[in-house]
Amino acid sequence: MQLADVQTSIVDFLTGKKEQPPDSVSQKGLELYKSLVFSEYQSLLESIYPGTQSALAQRWDEICLDFVRELPNTDFNMNRSAKGFSRFLEHFCHPTWIIELSEYEYLLHSVAERDVSFIPLALGERGDELFLEVLGERPCVNPTLEAVDYQNDTPALLSSALNDDEIELGSNEKRTRLAIFRDNRGVRSLELNDVSWQLLATLQTAESFRAVISNVALKFDQPVEFAAIPVLKELRRYFAEELLVRSIQTNSLT
């Protein structure tokens, strides 16, 4: 057997795809290593998905084991592999609220871990003057931001799961649009109404703030001069919340 084949067989054994290791390898040693590999994966999943773990209760251990067995034997980057947990739950027909809960938890984790920095807009004493100055520039959305549209009130579900409260699906079944992002206080999520959702979507592709106001006015069938007042007020709030930032910092090689 070629070395590559031996390595593949070992990985298949460790992830439960095969019941027996290669003949040339100690089964006792691999059994011990297999338990350690699974323990590492399960610990990682529990650190990222504590609410999902609580919601799945007694089924958690079995689902973790099944997930590890489904992982490609060519990818053992644990953090990257954990991203597929929500798709795994969806593939095996778990309820929508569980899938959304797990996706929400992963986004909270990944937004915190992203290696990116930015400069917020500090309005300070020059507030109005600086705000008008920035409106002449191209919109710069917080680079950590993720906008998601859920069928359930996922933050409420997470809170209930973490507090071991009974999850009332009926009361939490409502469309919830969220902006998940990182600012100088940590990772946050804000619920968005229809106008805020449309405004944020427009900001992510617009060439100018003037275009943003025009697009929102067109979307809601309003004159531009009428739409401008609430949009400008909302834009100022976005800068204060750091949904919008002054600029994105990039690491340069020296």
C-alpha span between 168 and 141 (Å, rounded):
35
For 104-139, b where at least 16 C-beta lie within 10 A, e where not — what string?
A: bbbbbbbbeeeeeebebbeeeeeeeebeeebbeeeb
Give the pLDDT of residue 77: 63
The sign of the dihedral angle between the CA atoms of 121, 126, 131, 137 is negative
Instruction: Burial-class residue 176 by CB neighbours within 10 Å (0-12, 13-18, 19+).
Output: buried
Amino acid at 212: V
186's enclosing H/E stretch is: strand 186-192
C-alpha span between 133 and 138 (Å, rounded):
11
C-alpha span between 65 and 41 (Å, rounded):
9
C-alpha span between 112 and 238 (Å, rounded):
19
> Domain ranges in the chain?
1-94, 116-254
Give the pLDDT of residue 53: 95
Give the pLDDT of residue 178: 97
Amino acid at 95: P
Bridge partners of 177, per DSSP, are 149, 192
Give the pLDDT of residue 79: 73
Give the pLDDT of residue 3: 47
Both ends of the chain: CA-CA distance in Å? 47
Give the pLDDT of residue 20: 66
pLDDT (tens, 9 = 90+) of the chain, 254 residues, equals 454 565 566 666 666 666 666 665 666 666 666 677 788 889 999 999 999 999 999 999 999 988 987 876 555 567 778 888 999 999 887 899 999 999 999 999 999 988 899 999 887 667 788 888 888 899 999 999 999 999 999 999 999 999 988 887 777 789 999 999 999 889 999 999 988 998 999 999 999 999 999 988 888 888 888 888 889 999 999 999 999 999 998 654 43
Q: Do the Cβ atoms of 179 and 192 come closer than 8 Å?
A: yes
Q: Do the Cβ atoms of 153 and 174 come closer than 8 Å?
A: yes
C-alpha span between 206 and 7 (Å, rounded):
50
3-class DSSP state of 30: helix
**34 Cβ neighbours under 8 A, 6+ residues apart:** 13, 14, 16
For residue 208, which phi and psi values (nearest 5 degrees)?
-155, 160
3-class DSSP state of 185: coil
CATH tag for 116-254 (out of 3.40.50.10490, 3.40.190.10, 3.40.710.10, 3.90.930.50):
3.90.930.50
Give the pLDDT of residue 140: 94
Q: Which of 37, 35, 38, 10 is nearest to 23 (CA)?
A: 10
